[in-house]
Structure 1
Amino acid sequence: ARPPVPEMIAFIDEQRAVHGVEPICKVLPIAPSTYRAHATRRTDPSKAPARWRSDAEVSVVIRRIWDENFQVYGVRKVWRQLRREGLAVARCTVARLMRRMGLKGVTRGKTVRTTISDRSAPCPLDRVNRQFRAPRPNTLWLADFTYVATWQGFVYVAFVIDAFARRIVGWRVSGTAHAGFVLDALEQALHDRRPAKGSGLIHHS
């Protein structure tokens, strides 16, 4: 079986202490058993398939070459250096492993901006002052969205989290980043939790 996308594994590693593995896996296209199998292979490399072990060994060399060259080498230059060192690795493999590790070469030219703020739009006040704790359920909900790489491409995932229980109370997945799917996650949370009117619920996004 193909390994799960590293970005999704890293996301689960980062969020599992807050939300738990199962709730996150309900949102992302990964079965909890798949994630746990991946975690087992990381702790016991001898159980990993031969390709995974080979990838791990080559990844160490790629990282060394990238660091030794001031972290500016891209796929082509790293691949050529591997060949000079006598490692016959396909260029597509180098590209795949560098993408997995988040290594990129320096690109000349303008940096692409993925988020452009509208300074003319009104900005709501921060009502919680970065204090993300609540004394009881349905008093403070925290919302955000992120993007995750899957085998089918990027998907955007919106979460609404109850700050008291630190659990996901609403979520939505979308192929595009638009306001509608974030609001749909809030609508789901409102429908499922049905907070009382006048409860003073704050939705912090």
Structure 2
Amino acid sequence: MSTKQVRAQYTQEYKLEAVRQVKAGQSIAVVAKVLGIPKASLGNWVRQDAKGALSGAGDTPASVTAEQMELARLRAENARLRMERDIAKKAGGVLRAGHAARYAWIHKMRRQYPVSVACEVLQVSASGYFSWRRRRQSDRPGPAGSYSDEALLAHMRAIHAEVKGEYGWPRMHKELLARGIRIGKERVRRLMQQHGLRARTKRKFVVTTDSRHSLPVAPDLVQRRFIPEAPNQLWSGDITYIATDEGWVYLAAVIDLFSRQVVGWSMQPHMHASLVKEALAMAWWRRRPAAGLIFHSDRGSQYCSHEFQDALKSWGMRSSMSRKGNCWDNAPTESFWGRLKTASLYGRKFATRREAMDAVLDWMAFYNHRRLHSSLGYLSPMQYEQRWHAAQRKKAA
């Protein structure tokens, strides 16, 4: 089927999740960029939700009542409170640092959060931030100049908080260079060591797979060859789980192994086949791959189910499965789970499923757009893919 003839469709879960992030205080532009959807579509969903039409709640009211005005005020207040909570959560490490590190964090996140709100949460004045920014612009060294240890440390603390403590000195060095800060590797290593800026260490996590079933199993078409030549040739998928006080929340993800980008996901309180099917549906509608794509997974009953296999066939995909009990046959996805849990979940206790889902979504947005991969030449998945597409256009010109 031609991609020009097919109108994009999104699952109800996808629409509601996108609208929820807007209602939590994120701008439509930011949410649309993170989730990879047109701003116009997201704007329509937000308007439909306000009318109660997105979830089928009813038609547009004829007039705005006092009760509705009060409800709108309360919603705006709640969105502000959620934004403040989000800032405090993301900038937790910076709060323990000096004013310069806080100003650097606010400056980096100024397109995502209003400066006035970020200053209030981080307990600095807006006038102090703008004074810092003026000094920073006037004192910025040229190509041959250098930063003081204090200035460099402020930048490094801000980055350390932004990336949730994931970067050791090699990635920190690359990140500083990407931001136009010229500095040697040894200096970065020394400053991080002296001031206790360390990468979180990876831990072993158990990911269960129920392969005790009588459903048909697909052959392994990948054979640990995890480096396709282009996007949308080889995807991998898996399921993991997160504990909350309300019970488990299960996460299914779909990763394009060309750029290691998360292209589809679904989070539910169950492990039924619909969980992995919803993640695949999101990936397909976002990417529209040509027929022949290989989808690689373990032998879990969800992936072997007739429901999921029928979905693969309907979209022209080929199923591939790893050997029984061999995690190395799906190593990229296992590695992704390790990064997610080490950076975002380990040591945290979630009162609700919603809280856990927010933490996962926050990290996946960072992972796709910002996290530097050594295997991708220290680019993020989105940057790596964008550069590949630019190179293809240049070749075709």
Same fold (TM over 0.5): no
Classify the TM-score, shorter chain: 0.3 to 0.5
- What is the TM-score normalised by the length of structure 1? 0.44
- What is the TM-score normalised by the length of structure 2? 0.24
Name the structure with the higher strand share.
1
Give the greater-gyration-radius structure (CA). Answer: 2
